[in-house]
Structure 1
Amino acid sequence: MTPVTAITGDENRPGDGTGPAPGTDAAIGDGTTGTGTGTGTGTGTATGSEPPCEQAPGQPRESGEGRSGGCWDDGLIARRSGGRRRGDGPAEPAEAEEHVPIGGAYGGPLRTRLDALRELVGLSSTRVESETLAEAGRVLDEASARQRLSARHTVVAIAGATGSGKSTLFNALAQVPLSETGLRRPTTSAPIACSWSEGSAGLLDRLAIPPRLRRRPLAGGADELSGLVLVDLPDHDSALVKHREQVDRVLALVDAVIWVVDPEKYADAALHERYLRPLAGHAEITFVVLNQVDRLPGEAADQVLDDLRRLLDEDGMPLGEHGEPGATVLALSALSGDGVDELRDVLGTFVQERTAPARRLAADVDAAAAGLRAAYVAEGLTGLDERAREDFADRLAEAVGAKAAGEAAEREWRRHAIRACGTPWLRLWRWYERKRLPGNGSGPPSATAPVEEELTARQRVEQAVRTVADAAAAGLPAPWAQAVREAAVRGADGLPEALDDLAAREAAATGKRPLRPAWWPAAVLAQMSMTLLQVYGGLWLVGQIVDLLEPGLVVPALLMAAGIVGGPLVEWACTAAVRGPARRYGQDARRRLREAAAGCGRARVLDPIAGELMRYREVREQYATVAGRGGARAAGR
């Protein structure tokens, strides 16, 4: 191992020449007396008023500067062996690595997806339940928090089951016993962190790891692991609930995870169902290590490793083999050291890429998008087509009686036209017939008829609104379908009354004397002529009867017959001629009432529905950006 410079209570004090053999990497501290051995030997004693704190075996302490609350800060526990020791010459203070925010790593597709997710949450806050948006909000919060912290560090957690050898692997990677190991279970009761370089305090504060549990590799760490922050977690299957809660909390915040499994528990359902399967989308930041392979005889290690790969494939976690992105699977023995160097090399390459935070965040966005899919992805085409709009207008027209109003207008137009062109004797007879009718046709309507008609019209309006709302909500995700129906219901409030007022205004406008056709004056003149012929012929005959005129029945009889026959002929001709114009007049009245009803329904119901559908299309576009798979992979490259 690399020689170590251990700091004791006072490095300038002379040693007494006692200690372990030269070259032994060890450092022991008891809180008041520090003894350090390395390439040289020496002892020193330092006293102080600071309270002692928990310390890993072999971890030195220093009084005074460098301690925080009586505990070691993560950057001042040990120096790299390449540095100069005090007493050997002028001290050269170690330069802390520059703190660079990670903001630049959030460029390109990942930044676009985060912006889209933020916009999506904002647009959906009043439509989608807060529980559904909670994970998306958490991802945005964690993205913002991680962006403000160091980009030079990669936080990797070591997780596993009881007895899998997590702490042994943790110590093997640090090359010094930092985490307690043993047969007692659980051995690790709280997360312990080891940082290979300066500047990781903010990241460890985010993980809520106290300073007393922050370590540095005694040898200073290999250069290829510079920037690594390794966290040893409690057992995920611990009998203590608080241990499992700590594991879940830290796993949600780290940049990558090393899952340590052993030959006995590598197929544990708790591991696969609770962690590996839900985190299958995080394969690029996942390492699965089969530990304790030294216990397997012959080819058993390869067989167990192959079975582990099979289980990961069943979990949906892709394996990073043959240049494909995915999880890294290794076999090693942390106790004997076999395969540890390979893991250290893989970790070194992974850490030096400095893309783990962006990869983790991209995978979190993928997971959040998958959780939001049911709230944004519709089944098939959505929206109102022209047929649904026309059907809604027809139903409203039926509710306001547009057809009956058109037929009434047609009859009224025909009646006025025929009345102007009819014979006076026929009009007199019709007047007499109307006088004979009970109530003279002007009695008040019954009190129950308007109420029944009003209820029927209201029911038709409500049915029309329900039908168009169901058509608009068809295929939409549940939150947006509910929003569409609520918009329709709000718009339908007061719609029957508005349609009643509209129908009354249209009836009043239609009730005015309708315009007569252009040929009406000629028809009136012809009818008047026929009437004059009848009167003239009749008077001529009367004059002959009373001997005022010379006898001659042919001419006056012909004149009178012409008037008698010509009058009904003129009226019949007018009746046939007004049929087309009357129909067009009635159709115009029906069309005006239908368009007015449709306009009222459009303003009160269709426009609010269209607004909700437009808002849904907008959030659907944002969701498509959030769920972009290409962006997720490009973010980590």
Structure 2
Amino acid sequence: MTAVTDQDRTEHTERTERTGQTEGVVAGRGSGPGGRRTGEDRIEHFQAVEDAPEAGSMEKPEKPEKPEKPGRAERPEGPEKPERPEKPVNAEERRLSAPVAETAPAAPAALAPTRVGHDDRPPRVKDDDPPSRTESDGVWDDGLIARRVTEPVTAGTTPLLPAESRPPRTPTVPPLTYDAPLQERLDALRELVGLSRTRLDSGTLAEASRVLDEAAARRRLSGQHTVVAIAGATGSGKSQLFNALAGVAISETGVRRPTTAAPIACSWSDGAASLLDRLGIPGRLRRRPLQGPEPDPQLRGLVLVDLPDHDSAVVEHREQVDRILALVDAVIWVVDPEKYADAVLHERYLRPMAGHAEVMFIVLNQVDRLPGEAAEQVLDDLRRLLDEDGVALGEYGEPGATVLAVSALTGDGIGELREALGQFVSERTAAARRISADVNAAAQRLRPVYATRRGAGLSEEAREEFAARLADAVGATAAGEAAERAWLRNASKACGTPWLRLWRWCRDLREPPTGRLPLRTQPEEEATARQRVEQAVRTVADRASAGLPAAWAQAVREAAVRGAQGLPEALDELAARTEVPPGRPLRPGWWPAAVLAQAAMTLLQVVGGLWLTGQIIGVMAPNLGVPVLLMIAGIVGGPLVEWSCRIAARGPARRYGQEAERRLREAAAGCGRARVLDPVAAELLRYQEVREQYARVLGTRMR
């Protein structure tokens, strides 16, 4: 059965002092079994004493005269005591207190009983009418505390308050504080989780969120206590080791399995109630170690928790072990010579917790069963297994797990373990180191989500290729060629012969030019353009997501696909709004001269024709040479000027077409950038931010 040494958790020290002061009083009080008297027997005893004659060496004091002024009374003969003002006391209190004072044996001055609010009471005056039985029953006068209250005050003692009137004193302990590097890592982890909630599922971020919650919860609790759990397999002797460290049989031991059914805590100092509440250990399972004359300063601040077997056949026991192991500051793993290489221990606990080596103790128990040098051999093999598990060993001054060999039965090695625990607890850094190890473990779990083999991003080459594919899909090249032809046509209109302009004018009447790019009207052309746009989007998404973790690569592709919806229609509308000449094109310097030359050629033709007509009708003198020469010059010169203008217009027309193509390409690229590239770049920027936060969580800088 579980032994109880002290179940009062908050006032253990005060109770010890009060018990020491009143031991002599309690020993001589009772008239019943165990030195205690029931309330009914005590009342009868009081009445008997009042009516009985003087007995033994105790003399009944005479009835004193009533003082003239209330509040002051004559002092009875006895030791010198300072005068104090007396509280008014009714007859019932005097009746209940006087018999006890008369019948109690004289106590030493150092252990004299006290009474609250009744300093230096004068000898009791017997009432004429003793109180009834009903009045006696209503007085709280049973038990040790009642007898303390009803004792008269003796010089040299300190009055004690009843338990009900004394307010509970909760020890105030400073909360836990984290150093700047750890706090920065926690802030980075919190920022990392916040940035990733919309991109990662809750299961991926569950461990990181748990670490943040536990770090915040632990920080609000005591920083002067270190919670250490003792864990082990069935029959490893962890409860025996727990009792050996406490110095008293607290946890049950035996051959029945499982022996420990619930966690039991033992605290070496006050103020650990909130920590144990966090672990879910009820008050009935909270104990104190064996207290000597002086408190053990070596383990002050230690809170030791004995856990059920981690390999118990009862599922609830294993769940309790897993839950508490995630909350304590440190763990003592207890193994025995038979099961120190158990696969369950190494694969389920030690290997996953390899990063917590600085807050772990590996204790080989029951070494008294090993003959000769077998203990050292088993200990060396245990170190080898721990090294294979990745558990760093704290040897030669390096940080890591402490490995010890003890025998809880014989006490061998217990002193060394106690010393190691004392040094570990006195540093007051176990909780912060545990949280730091938890952050490292959470960061390692998130590494596949954030770390990449190479720098990811959208290169300039990929952007240019995407813009070129969109320009081809919208027909930018064809638009430039159309703009070039339009410029040449305008040049031909301005510099061509009147007869050619007349023919073109008649043609424009039948098919008026719109001044805009021709739209794709054929279904096949539209389908081809749509396929080109989709292919361009897939290509840029694949290039942008190359090398990214799966979750972020998927987010990049989804952003690209969302932007591609409606992109072909937007490009068609953009092409329809684009004018072939964006306003009046800039004409070259030779353009007016060519127009004047063409006008002169036309004038020559008109003059020569009119002159020749006048000669034919007889108005003018016959002279065929000059009018015919003028007409021939105009007829030949007009086409010659037009041909010259066409040759001269090729350069400006080409530049005009290129400008139109460039404008359309830029418009298509802007549409693609707004719909596809910007969302993709936003996802990449978000990934870069979380990657930087992840580097802060690791405490390193990632490239």
On whether the aligned pair clears a TM of 0.5, the verdict is yes
Of the three residues 176, 183, 206, the one matched with 1:111 is: 183
Identify the residue that residue 86 of structure 2 maps to in structure 1.
none
Of the three residues 297, 306, 309, the one matched with 1:235 is: 309
1:13-43 per-position Cα deviation (integer Å, ceiling 9, x unaligned): 3289xxxxxxxxxxxxxxxx9xxxxxxxxx6
C-alpha deviation, 1:341, in angstroms = 0.4
Identify the residue that residue 72 of structure 1 maps to in structure 2.
none
Tell me the secondary structure at the aligned position of residue 562 of structure 2: helix
Identify the residue that residue 287 of structure 1 maps to in structure 2.
361
C-alpha deviation, 1:107, in angstroms = 2.7
Matches within 5 A, 1:164-563: 164-219=236-291, 222-427=296-501, 449-507=521-579, 510=581, 514-540=585-611, 555-563=626-634
Answering whether residue 664 of structure 2 is matched by residue 593 of structure 1, we say: yes
C-alpha distance in structure 2 between counterparts of 1:428 and 1:198, whole Å? 111
Mean alpha-carbon deviation: is it higher for 136-145 or for 550-559? Answer: 550-559
RMSD over aligned CA atoms reads 3.3
C-alpha deviation, 1:606, in angstroms = 2.0
Identify the residue that residue 605 of structure 1 maps to in structure 2.
676
Identify the residue that residue 128 of structure 1 maps to in structure 2.
200
C-alpha deviation, 1:541, in angstroms = 5.1
C-alpha distance in structure 2 between counterparts of 1:127 and 1:197, whole Å? 47
Identify the residue that residue 26 of structure 2 maps to in structure 1.
13
Identify the residue that residue 653 of structure 2 maps to in structure 1.
582
C-alpha distance in structure 2 between counterparts of 1:338 and 1:448, whole Å? 94
C-alpha distance in structure 1 between counterparts of 2:309 and 2:239, whole Å? 10
Output the amino acid matched with 1:161.
A
Output the amino acid matched with 2:325.
L
Structure 2 contact 230–333 (Cα < 8 Å) conserved: yes
C-alpha deviation, 1:623, in angstroms = 1.2
Structure 2 contact 519–572 (Cα < 8 Å) conserved: no
C-alpha distance in structure 2 between counterparts of 1:187 and 1:285, whole Å? 26
C-alpha deviation, 1:584, in angstroms = 0.9
Structure 1 contact 101–148 (Cα < 8 Å) conserved: no
Question: 1:171/1:15 Cα in 2 relative to 1: closer, same or farther (>3 Å)?
Answer: farther
Structure 1 contact 408–586 (Cα < 8 Å) conserved: yes
Identify the residue that residue 147 of structure 2 maps to in structure 1.
none
Answering whether residue 639 of structure 2 is matched by residue 626 of structure 1, we say: no
C-alpha distance in structure 2 between counterparts of 1:424 and 1:156, whole Å? 107
Identify the residue that residue 566 of structure 1 maps to in structure 2.
637
C-alpha deviation, 1:127, in angstroms = 1.4
Structure 2 contact 379–405 (Cα < 8 Å) conserved: yes
The percent of aligned pairs where both chains have the same amino acid is: 72
1:488-536 per-position Cα deviation (integer Å, ceiling 9, x unaligned): 23333333332222211104x6386645433222101111222333444
C-alpha deviation, 1:161, in angstroms = 0.7
C-alpha deviation, 1:389, in angstroms = 1.6
C-alpha distance in structure 2 between counterparts of 1:429 and 1:115, whole Å? 80
TM-score (norm: length of structure 2): 0.73
Structure 1 contact 106–358 (Cα < 8 Å) conserved: yes
C-alpha distance in structure 2 between counterparts of 1:238 and 1:414, whole Å? 94
C-alpha deviation, 1:111, in angstroms = 0.6
C-alpha distance in structure 1 between counterparts of 2:558 and 2:333, whole Å? 49
Structure 1 contact 537–556 (Cα < 8 Å) conserved: yes
Mean alpha-carbon deviation: is it higher for 492-501 or for 292-301? Answer: 492-501
Structure 2 contact 299–422 (Cα < 8 Å) conserved: yes
Of the three residues 150, 167, 181, the one matched with 2:222 is: 150
C-alpha deviation, 1:553, in angstroms = 5.5
Structure 1 contact 99–152 (Cα < 8 Å) conserved: no
Question: 1:560/1:92 Cα in 2 relative to 1: closer, same or farther (>3 Å)?
Answer: farther
Question: 1:324/1:91 Cα in 2 relative to 1: closer, same or farther (>3 Å)?
Answer: farther
C-alpha distance in structure 2 between counterparts of 1:152 and 1:428, whole Å? 104
Answering whether residue 160 of structure 2 is matched by residue 102 of structure 1, we say: no
Structure 1 contact 97–197 (Cα < 8 Å) conserved: no
C-alpha distance in structure 2 between counterparts of 1:280 and 1:92, whole Å? 56
| Higher RCO (C-alpha under 8 Å, 6+ residues apart) | 1
C-alpha deviation, 1:454, in angstroms = 2.9
C-alpha distance in structure 2 between counterparts of 1:386 and 1:317, whole Å? 47
C-alpha deviation, 1:462, in angstroms = 2.7
Tell me the secondary structure at the aligned position of residue 139 of structure 1: helix
Question: 1:288/1:441 Cα in 2 relative to 1: closer, same or farther (>3 Å)?
Answer: same
Identify the residue that residue 161 of structure 1 maps to in structure 2.
233
Output the amino acid matched with 1:326.
G
Identify the residue that residue 54 of structure 1 maps to in structure 2.
none
1:419-468 per-position Cα deviation (integer Å, ceiling 9, x unaligned): 22122344556678999xxx9799xxx99943333333333333322322
Gaps of 5+ in 2: 7-15, 40-153, 161-167
Output the amino acid matched with 2:350.
L
Larger radius of gyration: 2
Structure 1 contact 193–232 (Cα < 8 Å) conserved: yes
Identify the residue that residue 36 of structure 1 maps to in structure 2.
none
Mean alpha-carbon deviation: is it higher for 617-626 or for 351-360? Answer: 617-626
1:33-66 per-position Cα deviation (integer Å, ceiling 9, x unaligned): 9xxxxxxxxx666999xxxxxxxxxxxxxxxxxx
Mean alpha-carbon deviation: is it higher for 416-425 or for 485-494? Answer: 485-494
Output the amino acid matched with 1:341.
G
Gaps of 5+ in 1: 17-32, 34-42, 49-86, 631-637
C-alpha deviation, 1:339, in angstroms = 0.8
Structure 1 contact 470–485 (Cα < 8 Å) conserved: yes
Tell me the secondary structure at the aligned position of residue 431 of structure 2: helix
Question: 1:125/1:45 Cα in 2 relative to 1: closer, same or farther (>3 Å)?
Answer: farther
Question: 1:441/1:451 Cα in 2 relative to 1: closer, same or farther (>3 Å)?
Answer: farther
